[in-house]
Amino acid sequence: MFNQLGTSIKITLVLLVIVSGIYPLAVWGVSQVLLPRQANGSLVKSSSGAIVGSTLIGQGFTKPEYFHPRPSAAGSGYDPTQSSGTNLGPTSDKLINGVHKKLANGKDDPNNFDGVKDLAAAYRTENGLSATARVPVDAVTRSASGLDPDISIENARVQAARVAKARNTDVSAITRLIDKTAHGRDLGFLGEPRVNVLSVNLALDQEYPLNKSLVKPGAK
C-alpha cells in the first residue's frame, strides 16, 4: 500500500516538469516570438516610450472632454492590483442609495460610496439629461472586474454631446468617431457591441485635440 506513496511522489515530480515547466514555457516562448504585443499585456506607449496603459485594462477618466468609463470597484477605481466588482446584491441599500457619511472633522468618510441613484443623477447632470431620464445601465453599474475597458455604444452616444462641447466640435463628428472606434460583436454574434474607452479617448486627442500643447501622444 505504501509503495503507492512512493509512486505518488515520483509521478507528481515528473508531471510537474511537464505541466508546470515545459508547457507554460513553451507557450511563453512561442507567444513572445510570434505575438509579443499581446503576450506582454497589450500595452499602449506614448511616443516617448512611456506606458500609458493597456487597451485591455480600463482606466479612470473624469474630465468632460473624455469619454468616461463605467464606475469601478477595483480599489479606489481602476486599480489593477485590486480587481473586483462591488459584490452588492439587488436588495443592497448601499448599491441603490449609496453611503454618504461625514466624519467628525466634517470631511467625507473615505468609505463613502455612490449608489446607482447617485451615479444616475451625476450622469444626467454631466450629460445634460432630464432629471427623470433613464440612463444606459452600464453607466451606473460597476463591472465585474472593476477594470472594464469598454462602455456600451448607447453610453458613448449619450456622452458624445458633452465631449463635443468640451472639444468645441459638433456631435456628429464625435458620433462618427464612436462608430469608427467601436467594436462589433465578435464573429457577428458573440458578446455586445462596445467602445473601448482608452482607444476612443486616444483617438479624440489625436483628431480633436483640445489644445496643441496638451495633445497626448497617443497611438501613433
Partner 1 sequence: MTLIGWLQIVVFFGLLLALTKPMGIFMHRVFEGEPTFLTPVMRPIEKLIYRLCGVREDDDMPWTRYTVAMLFFSIVTLLLTYAILRWQAYLPLNPMRLGSDKAPGWGTAMTPDLAFNTAASFTTNTNWQAYSGENTMSYFSQMVALASHNFFSAAAGIAIAIAFVRGLARKSATGVGNFWVDLTRATLYVLLPLCIVIALVYVQQGMPQNFHAYHTAQTVEGSAQIIPGGPVASQEAIKMLGTNGGGIFNANSSHPFENPTPLTNFIQMLTIFLIGGGIVYTFGIAVGNVRQGWAIFAAMSALFLLGVAVCYWQEAKGNPIINAVATGGNMEGKEARFGIASSTLFATITTDASCGAVNSMHDSYTPLGGLVPMANILTGEVIFGGVGAGLYGMLMYAILAVFIAGLMVGRTPEYLGKKVEAFEVKMAMLACLILVADVLGFTALSCVTHVPHPATYWNTVSGTPPSVNALASANTNNSGPHGFSEILYTFDSATGNNGSAFAGISVNTPYWNLTIGIAMLIGRFLMIIPLLAIAGSMAKKKRVPVSSGTFPTDNALFAGLLVGVVIIVGALSYFPAVALGPVVEHFLMLGGKTF
- For the bound state, the minimum distance from the C-beta of residue 158 to partner 1, rounded and expressed in Å, comes to 11
The contacts of residue 15 (CB under 8 Å, 6+ apart) are none
Contact region for partner 1 (CB under 8 A) — 11-19, 103-111, 164-172, 173-181?
11-19
Q: Does 15 bind partner 1 (CB under 8 A)?
A: yes
- For the bound state, the minimum distance from the C-beta of residue 211 to partner 1, rounded and expressed in Å, comes to 15
Nearer of residues 165 and 216 to partner 1, judged by Cβ: 216
- For the bound state, the minimum distance from the C-beta of residue 107 to partner 1, rounded and expressed in Å, comes to 19
Task: Assess contact for 160 and 171: CB atoms under 8 A.
Answer: yes
- For the bound state, the minimum distance from the C-beta of residue 190 to partner 1, rounded and expressed in Å, comes to 4
Q: Which of residues 36-65 bind partner 1 (CB under 8 A)?
A: 38-43, 50-63
Phi, psi (degrees; rounded to nearest 5) at 45: -115, 150
Q: What is the DSSP letter of 64?
A: T
Closest CA relative to residue 78, chosen from 152, 155, 148:
148
Question: What mask, x for binding partner 1 by CB under 8 A, covers residues 85 to 104?
Answer: xxxxxxxxx-xxx-------
Q: Which of residues 172-191 bind partner 1 (CB under 8 A)?
A: 183, 185-187, 189-191
Among 84, 112, 169, 175, binds partner 1 (CB under 8 A): 84
- For the bound state, the minimum distance from the C-beta of residue 176 to partner 1, rounded and expressed in Å, comes to 21
In the chain, what's the furthest Cα-to-Cα distance? 80
Task: Assess contact for 200 and 219: CB atoms under 8 A.
Answer: no
Rg of the Cα atoms in the chain: 23
Nearer of residues 33 and 107 to partner 1, judged by Cβ: 33
Distance, CA of 176 to CA of 155 (rounded, Å): 15
Distance, CA of 11 to CA of 90 (rounded, Å): 48
